[in-house]
Chains A and B, each alone.
Chain A
Amino acid sequence: EVQLVESGGGLVQPGGSLRLSCAASGFTFSIYWMAWVRQAPGKGLEWVANINQHGNEKYYVDSVKGRFTISRDNARNSLYLQINSLRAEDTAVYYCARDPGIGNDCWGQGTLVTVSS
């Protein structure tokens, strides 16, 4: 069974940092692009970033460029999102998703990041 499990969310002050993790199982992690997608409370989905199989090609939504960094460790079947200089508008559930290039076909349950003083 394909499974994605996010962790690392929490309450953080504006300007703070967090590192989100996603543990993948049930499929060959190293052959897939992977992505982070977020959803602010009561709002729609917003794609955040994706990364290729080798970790050397990455894309980001404009609003997070320079603040967020996506990375992966294929040996650990894990995806990461380092989020710095957090703003109130970054408050959201962050989903890890598989990205085979046709749409996100597998999703985790999400981890909540709340930015507040």
Chain B
Amino acid sequence: QAGLTQPPSVSKGLRQTATLTCTGDSDNVGNQGAAWLQQHQGHPPRLLSYRNNNRPSGISERVSAFRSGNTASLTITGLQPEDEADYYCSAWDSSLSAWVFGGGTKLTVL
């Protein structure tokens, strides 16, 4: 089953802005949008955003998401050391009847 495409790594400086991308197709990202999850080493993932730009309670306002066509984006402003983590996108694929994940992007805060 095909997954979503994410760049393997992104590096940004402290207090800068990072934008992570996730590319799918019209059956997944382009259909119902994407969810974004953050995972620190040795911990389970945590949902950051869903249906493109909805944040669960407790998620920082520095996090925002956007979708254009079949590509979803996650933007984190004012980068802090604790933002250094792996970030995954996921979406329901209506043709596969399955959730698909991206391969993950490792965000490094310099």
Contact = CB atoms under 8 A, between A and B. Distances in A.
Interface of A: 35, 37, 44-47, 50, 59-63, 95, 99, 101-110
Interface stretch (B14-22, B43-51, B74-82): B43-51
Given A61-B98, A102-B51, A45 B1 contact: no
Interface string B78-92: 000000001010101
Interface of B: 1, 35-37, 39, 44-47, 50-51, 54, 56, 86, 88, 90, 92, 97-104
Nearest to A99: B99
B44 A105 contact: no
A51 to B, nearest CB: 12
A45 B50 CA distance: 17
14 contacts: A44-B86, A45-B39, A45-B90, A47-B90, A47-B98, A47-B100, A61-B1, A61-B98, A103-B35, A104-B35, A104-B47, A105-B56, A106-B47, A109-B44
Contacts of A63: 1
A59 B56 CA distance: 25
Contacts of A50: 99
B44 A47 contact: no
Contact of B102 (A37, A44, A62, A108): A44
Contacts of B54: 102
Nearest to B39: A45
Contacts of B44: 95, 107-110
B74 to A, nearest CB: 12
Contact of B50 (A37, A44, A62, A105): A105
Nearest to B56: A105
A44 B101 CA distance: 8
Contacts of A106: 47
A47 B99 contact: yes
A37 B98 CA distance: 12
Contacts of B39: 45
Contact of A107 (B35, B45, B51): B45
B104 A44 contact: yes
A47 B91 CA distance: 10
